[in-house]
Amino acid sequence: MRLFCLPHAGGTSTAFREWADWLPGAIELCIVEIPGHGYRLNEALIHRLQPLAHQVAQDIQPYLDKPFAIFGHSMGNLLGFELSHYLQNSYQRTPIHLFLSGRGAPHLPSREEPIHQLPEDQFIRKITEYNGTPKEVLQHKELMDLMLPILRTDFEVCETYQYSPKPPFNFPLTIFGGLSDQGASKPDLQEWNCYTNASFSLRMFPGDHFFIFSAQKQLLQAIVRDINDHFPISTV
């Protein structure tokens, strides 16, 4: 089977590069690079979530010939949610398991003030608070000049997203959160339980919004365990 991974705002495929070392051979890691990021830097950025989900669906369509699961963190959380609905409605394909991380249920109002239109100094100060951008990048003017349009666009994608009611999924849904993540509380994460008719799990890990790095081994163990519960795989 395949595991498609969707990055956080400003993230690239490198965020998941170590995952292959921890996953069993039965799970093929498929990291999604979205337009305007990483090795697709020369492509136009996409400023709204629905067109982004449609583009990602087209990109991964040739790889839907095997059972697959989806993991998305933060911006990738919303993208994974909309992508799963789009694949179901337009391609008649659904994941065997959906893993969403670091963001409360989509019907809930955001706890954060919009930042994508802030002046540069205020915007940089805000993204620094998320603790997801390396200090080396924040202190490197040329790198920041490159990253700022990408970060602004990704935050715009999230901050302009408007949820519209959709029927619950019929496949398992697991939600992950960081115990110290102020922007995604456990009650807000628990609200995801109404989005599936199948099994639902909420798993919390030590760490802030980017617990996916600090608790990487435990997170991947949980993903493999949850997949194996509903779709038995070899763990060798």
Q: Which residues contact 178 (CB under 8 A, 6 or more apart)?
A: 102, 184, 204, 205, 206, 207, 208, 209, 210, 211, 215
Looking at the domain assignment, is residue 118 inside a domain?
no
pLDDT value, residue 131: 67
Q: Of 125, 80, 86, 112, which is closest to residue 98 (Cα–Cα)?
A: 80
CA–CA separation, 8 vs 209, rounded Å? 10
CA–CA separation, 137 vs 71, rounded Å? 26
Looking at the domain assignment, is residue 131 inside a domain?
no
Q: Are 197 and 169 in contact (CB under 8 A)?
A: yes
Looking at the domain assignment, is residue 114 inside a domain?
no
- 75-86 helix and 141-159 helix, angle to the nearest 10 degrees: 50
Looking at the domain assignment, is residue 157 inside a domain?
no
pLDDT value, residue 236: 45
Catalytic residues: 74
Looking at the domain assignment, is residue 82 inside a domain?
yes
Over the chain (236 residues), the average pLDDT of each successive run of 10 is: 96 92 94 96 97 98 97 97 98 97 94 88 84 62 84 96 95 97 94 98 96 96 95 70
DSSP of 12-75, one letter per residue?
Answer: -GGGGTTGGGTS-TTSEEEEPPPTTSGGGTTSPP--SHHHHHHHHHHHHGGGTTS-EEEEEETH
Q: Are 118 and 112 in contact (CB under 8 A)?
A: no
The boundaries of the domain holding residue 69 are 2-109+163-230
The strand order across the sheet containing 173-178 reads 28-31, 2-6, 68-73, 97-101, 173-178, 200-205
pLDDT value, residue 103: 96
Helix (H, G, I), strand (E, B) or coil at 190: helix
Looking at the domain assignment, is residue 158 inside a domain?
no
Q: Which residues pair with 196 in a beta bridge?
A: 169
Looking at the domain assignment, is residue 140 inside a domain?
no
How many domains, in total, are found in the chain?
Answer: 1
CATH of the domain at 14: 3.40.50.1820
> How far from chain centre, in Å, is Cα 157?
13
pLDDT value, residue 127: 83
Q: Are 177 and 204 in contact (CB under 8 A)?
A: yes
Looking at the domain assignment, is residue 153 inside a domain?
no
